[in-house]
A and B are shown apart, each in its own frame.
Chain A
Amino acid sequence: MTQPPPIPAANGRDLASSRLLETLNVLGVYILVAGLFAIGCAVSRQFLTPDNLLNALRSVALMGIVAVGVAFITYSRHYVDLSIPGIMALSGTVAVWALQYGIVASLAAGLAAGLVIGIINGLVVGYLRLNPIIWTLAMMSILSGVIRWAYAGRQIYPDAATAAGRAFLDLYHHAVFGVVPLPLVILPIAAAVGHVVMRHTGYGAALKLTGSNYEVARLSGVHVRGVVAGAFAISALASGVAGIFLTSFNKVGAVYIGEGYDFKTITAVVLGGMTLAGGRGNIAGVLGGVMAIALMSNVMSLVRIGDFTIGQFAQNIVQGAVFILVVGVNSFSRRKAGRDDA
């Protein structure tokens, strides 16, 4: 999967076997994806149409961009950023607001808004060591209040009469080289960057050590507080990108943009073999997890037996059950293998 890093390992066999285990784990996700694909072909004739597959891929793209960011937080053993929906909504609305200064300013402002929230989260969780779940839950509440307050509960629309507005609305549908939608181009770039940062940089090594054992990392001289803060900033930036795309797709900046993305992405991340215990897993697995989640909802929405269809609510129930099940099986197998005491 990946070439071993050029560090001299004390015990090469251990390292190799742990790599092998990880690769198998990732392979498992892709087998699941293939299985879901086969089920999709079996249950519905609409599944294997270009339109439907493109739809599924687009939702993969948005969720994947967010998930690559969330992976950094999970990798650092800080679970998840529950303020992701708020960050996505904020980036989107700020970008729409800044359209009056042109498309470039709009994108920059949207990303900056997301990044600022990420830095605040990082400072508080990383430096002040506050509980990430409680803090980001509070942040989510504040953000949703701020967005509602700033626009007095109204939604704001990009103005299609201006060139910048048209460019913004085109963002999601823009086809690079005439075929590939822009989000689908951004996702591989984000994933590649995420992979390189996580595996081949000093920051990635520090992040892995911090996630595996915070105290050991601190005592070995890793700047743990900064490392954790960085993970939150990266995640917020990724959420900002996805938030802008989602706003462009919905043609409206509103507080509900991004609802549910926190839960969907953390499900994808743990499904992809990145455990909540930190320091394990990789980006390839996370992408597999995203594909599995996206395919699952796609297939479920296509199932039709007579009048019976699986509604949005039932889909959510299945996702919730899968979420608990995956984490349960994961932690069980690791405990059996003696790799985790938790």
Chain B
Amino acid sequence: MRDGGESSAAGKAAAIAYRWRVWLLCAGIFAVMGCMAPNFLTARNFADILKGVATNLPAAIGFTIVLLAGQLDLSVGSAMTLGGMLVMGLAPELGWAGAFAVAVAGGVVLGLANGLLVARAKINSFIVTLGAMIIVYNAMAIYCKGGTITTDSFGLSDWFQRPLVGAAPLGAAGAAQWPAWLTLWLTPRNLVPLALLAGASLLLRRTPVGRGFYLLGGNPQAAWYSGLRVDAYVVGAFVLSASLSAVGGSLVAMSEAAGSLKLGENSLMAIVAAAVIGGTSMEGGKGSVIGTAVALVALTALINGLSCLGAGHEVKLMASGLVLALVILYDACWLHVRQRTKGQRKDLLLELKTRGASS
């Protein structure tokens, strides 16, 4: 991977820093916020950060898979709203399990529609998903009559928020060994998205299907020549994205015992930012869901730290966009420098310079 002329120690350090930039960014944000923001380094606050990450993580995984396949899905936020609304609206009639199934099915249908329009009708995915975002959002607004759907039965929402270990009455003896901070984090609400992340990561790294997404995104033509069922993969990516978003949205709604139109409204910006900052290329074929997850943690920690510092709502709104802008600018500059010096032979340049000086 090394280009000629990158022999200096500084160049090496820069390359390493570039490679691990998401982790560095995350560590940096935690370090700075830990030093500056009061109450940032507490177990309760970390639990808040994790809750925020868990909210957007499923949709971010889906968005990353679509990006890897070389497409774009702007409808993830609306799909989250769809999941949350359907699960809250149908629960009184179908029960939680039935409502959840319908919500996920709704996501699958949305993903199928997106995917077929992109793969079969060959419409640009930006257009399809922008249209789908608006259609689904407004359909949900009609469904809930512009308001919020709430429930009176808090049993399920309590279960989602309750720590799995420590607070369990049966394991009272063993629970003492668990540190308090850990019990705060190990709630089903946090663990389900984490399990999804592990599953998606394994799928993408270890299975032929997962590698297919990378192949497709890296070079669609080559993927087609090598016998990959290109259309099926595109549709699959959109179905995964929309259904994961719907799962994420319904998890949030079930744990908060309320589904609102605002659910996925601000999520799109954070999800796009997390995926791009996490190193997933807009051209497709490059990136990982782990990178997205780390970037999401970094972003959420940043926003959380800002509110610990007393920053207002508007700064939080701005933060995702600002960080995204800075990171992609940094990326662009890095690429620019690399392209300029690629294949350059520094020894020859040096020789030219010394000769020019002596003559």
Question: Chain A: residues with CB nearer than 8 A to chain B?
Answer: 79, 124, 128-131, 133-135, 137-142, 144-146, 148-149, 152-153, 263, 266, 270, 276, 311, 313-314, 316-317, 319-321, 323-324, 327-328, 331-332, 335, 342
Contact = CB atoms under 8 A, between A and B. Distances in A.
B168 interface: no
B232 interface: no
Contacts of A138: 269, 273, 321-322, 324-325, 328
Contacts of A332: 121-122
Q: Is the interface of B mostly helix, strand, loop or mixed?
A: helix
B325 A316 contact: no
Contact of A276 (B127, B269, B272, B320): B127
A129 B321 contact: no
B273 A263 contact: no
Contact of B124 (A130, A135, A276, A314): A276
A134 B324 contact: yes
Contacts, number: 128
B303 to A, nearest CB: 12
Interface stretch (B243-251, B311-319, B340-348): B311-319
A142 B141 contact: no
A148 B314 contact: yes
A128 B127 contact: no
Interface string B101-140: 0000000000000000100011110111011111101110
Interface string B21-42: 0000000000000000000000
B122 A335 contact: yes
Contact of B325 (A133, A135, A324, A331): A135
A137 B272 contact: yes
Nearest to B268: A137
A142 B321 contact: yes
Given A137-B272, A145-B322, A128 B329 contact: yes
Contacts of B137: 316
Contacts of B146: 313
A316 to B, nearest CB: 4
A325 to B, nearest CB: 9
Nearest to A327: B127
Contacts of A316: 134-135, 137-138
B282 interface: yes
B318 A149 contact: yes
B131 A324 contact: yes
Given A141-B318, A145-B322, A324-B117, A331 B328 contact: no
Lowest 7 A-B CB distances belong to which pairs? A145-B318, A141-B321, A148-B314, A320-B135, A320-B134, A324-B131, A128-B332
B142 A145 contact: no
Contact of B139 (A131, A134, A317): A317
B130 A323 contact: yes
B72 interface: yes
A263 B134 CA distance: 9
A130 B324 CA distance: 12
B203 interface: no
B253 interface: no
B336 A128 contact: yes
B333 interface: yes
B145 to A, nearest CB: 10
Contacts of B328: 130-131, 134-135, 138
B276 A145 contact: no
Interface residues of B, number: 43
Nearest to A255: B314
A128 B333 contact: yes
Contacts of A129: 332
6 contacts: A124-B332, A130-B328, A138-B324, A263-B134, A319-B134, A324-B128
A138 to B, nearest CB: 4
A148 B137 CA distance: 24
Contacts of B128: 324
Contacts of A319: 134
Contacts of B332: 124, 128-130
A137 B313 contact: no
Nearest to A326: B127
Given A144-B314, A148-B318, A331-B124, 16 more contacts: A134-B282, A137-B321, A141-B324, A142-B325, A145-B314, A145-B322, A148-B317, A149-B314, A276-B126, A276-B127, A313-B138, A313-B141, A313-B142, A316-B137, A331-B122, A332-B121
A142 B320 CA distance: 8
Contacts of A314: 138, 142
A321 B135 CA distance: 7
A89 to B, nearest CB: 13
Contacts of A152: 312
A320 B325 CA distance: 28
Interface string B136-160: 0111011000100000000000000
Given A128-B333, A331-B123, A149 B312 contact: yes
Contact of A263 (B72, B117, B123, B130): B130
A142 B123 contact: no
Interface string B276-317: 100000100000000000000000000000000000111101
Query: Quick one: which of A135, A138, A139, A320 has the most chain B CB within 10 A?
Result: A138
A323 B315 CA distance: 33
A323 B117 CA distance: 13
Query: Quick one: which of A144, A270, A320, A323 has the most chain B CB within 10 A?
Result: A320
Nearest to B321: A141
Query: Quick one: which of B131, B276, B320, B322 has the most chain A CB within 10 A?
Result: B131
A139 B325 CA distance: 7
B138 A328 contact: no
A317 B122 CA distance: 21
B314 A153 contact: yes
